[in-house]
Amino acid sequence: MTNFHRRSSNTRIYPLLIFVAVVSLLGVLPRLSRATASDLTISVVNNSQKEIRHLFLTSAGSDNWGDDQLSDPIAAGSSRNLNAPWSESTVKVVAEDEDGCFLTSTLEATGNPSWTITSSTTRNCGN
């Protein structure tokens, strides 16, 4: 009878312990994910003669671009500061101009990186 009583009380304890462990993890995981991805501020200066209509961020060795970072284009002669969560040491910035050509630069993701686009910045227009 004693073994039956111990087994039944243990079977009630285990689900409670599992529940407490899951709730604890749910409280800790969001804090950990915020700790690994901090905001990166990138200054993009458009000194070219073309409007920049789209801007994407990706890992330095990747061609899988993230979401468009621009809600409005960057006019020729203007600049924009972009804030994005980033956790890697470098970031590839990909801009698309008004002609549909792509311009890229890889920046160190420390401090406040800046990219100045000029008329001589290499453009990939699919040729």
pLDDT of residue 27: 61
Tell how strand 114-118 and strand 38-47 pair up: parallel
Digit-by-digit pLDDT tens for the chain (127 residues) are 555 455 555 566 766 656 666 656 566 555 544 445 688 999 999 999 999 999 999 999 888 999 999 999 999 999 999 999 999 999 999 999 999 999 999 999 998 899 999 999 999 998 7
- Residue 61: the pLDDT is 86
pLDDT at 14: 64
Contact 44, 75 (CB under 8 A): no
Distance of CA 105 to the CA centre of its chain: 16
Give the model's pLDDT for residue 16. Answer: 62
Tokens for 5? Answer: 């009583």
Beta pairing, strands 90-97 & 102-108: antiparallel
Give the pair of three-digit tokens for residue 83: 């804030």
Burial class (CB in 10 A: 0-12, 13-18, 19+), 123: buried
